[in-house]
Amino acid sequence: MELQFLGTSSGTPSRARNVSGLALRATGSKHWYLVDCGEGTQHRILRTNFSPISLRAIFITHIHGDHCYGLPGLLASAGLLNRAEPLLIAGPPAVERFVRGVMDSTELRLPYQVEFSAVEPGWSLATLPDFRIEAAELSHRVPSFAFSFVEKSVERRLDIARLERDGIASGPGWGQLQRGEDIALPDCRVARSADYLLPGRRQRKVIVAGDNDTPSLLAAQARDAHVLVHEATYTEEVLQKVGPGPQHSSARATAAFAEEAGIPNLILTHFSPRYQQQGNGGATMADIEAEARFAYSGNLFLASDLQRYTLDRQGKLAALPLPNGA
């Protein structure tokens, strides 16, 4: 599985960080998915290997502008590229009102179908390629959700030792067994596929959360998750100053939850623009990182724009080098 961040700032873009957007793809798949689409997401896509043509669906965590104002422009550009395949947009019901309203008031006509799926507590979707997607309700000023991307199928592996012990010679029959077919052996025995497949590995699961002031709402989803992508808008000190009104999480709160839930990989994102990469006396990303590391002993990442990650079959998450010109 591959993830690429298209925006990692909260509220407003900065020169270094755009507002929220995350691309997700099963390695080798021709489809990809987008979670959130802040203004300028299509501009970021221009700097990746993703295309508005092969985008299969967009998931919007909540209706705040920094998570959805890039939708109309992305839809329009996909139209100018002559996209023909339908595009699914899943999100709280306000998302459909927003998109249809803009299409209507700005006379935006598209050469493809836009389909909407209203996300409400308990929502899940099993009909897309590569992933089953489940929503979990969060706590924010407007309805906000996390989307879990669960790998649909894992590769089947043969129990070679048992095949050899049972005297089943390698050949086309092995392939049939691996594909789930039973085979007749030369000595008239029947070899049943189920007897020769090793137990499948755990399906990979990545949770991408929207804005949320209560990470523990993800406790149930987190139990078998490999990766959590979650906001860490402020350090705890700034959050206390700002007060609970904006309903965001601190790096400490997010990290402490991930630690308690035993999530092996945590990617923080959605940083307040006040945190600079290098500060001259002001708040820096190092403050966020230090606070999270103190509370979390797993693999911690602080997302930056265009940063790519791969999650291998063993559930190991790794950051890839930034592409040239990024």
Catalytic residues, by residue number, are 66
CB atoms within 10 A of CB 294: 12
Smallest separation, CB 17 to a second copy (Å): 11
Buried b (16+ CB within 10 A) or exposed e, 85-96: eebbbbbbebbb
Please say which residue, 16 or 154, places its beta carbon nearer to a second copy.
Answer: 16
Please say which residue, 65 or 279, places its beta carbon nearer to a second copy.
Answer: 65
Smallest separation, CB 138 to a second copy (Å): 16
Residues annotated as binding site for Zn(2+)?
Answer: 62, 64, 66-67, 140, 211, 270
Helix/strand/coil for 162: helix
CA 125 to mean position of chain CA atoms: 14
State both tokens at 156: 């089947």
Q: Rounded to an integer, what distance in angstroms lies between the CA atom of residue 124 and that of residue 257?
A: 24
- Applying CB under 8 A, the residues found at the interface with a second copy are 11-15, 18-19, 38-40, 42-43, 46-47, 63-66, 68-70, 72-73, 76-77, 80-81, 94, 97-98, 101-102, 104-108, 141-142
Please say which residue, 62 or 226, places its beta carbon nearer to a second copy.
Answer: 62
Smallest separation, CB 238 to a second copy (Å): 15
Smallest separation, CB 321 to a second copy (Å): 20
Q: What residues are paired with 2 via a beta bridge?
A: 25, 310
Please say which residue, 106 or 277, places its beta carbon nearer to a second copy.
Answer: 106
Which among 293, 267, 266, 288 is positioned nearest to 277, based on CA atoms?
288
Q: Rounded to an integer, what distance in angstroms lies between the CA atom of residue 41 and that of residue 43?
A: 5
